[in-house]
Amino acid sequence: RKRIGKTIWKKKGYWVALKAFSLAKSLSTGNSKSFFVQQIQALE
Q: pTM here?
A: 0.41
Domain boundaries, the chain: 2-43
Using a 10 angstrom Cβ sphere, with 0-12 exposed, 13-18 middle and 19 or more buried, the burial of residue 24 is exposed
Give the tens place of pLDDT for each residue, 1-44: 677 777 777 788 888 888 888 878 777 766 556 666 777 777 76
Residue 18 CB partners (closer than 8 Å, separation 6+): 39, 42, 43
Report the length, in residues, of the chain: 44
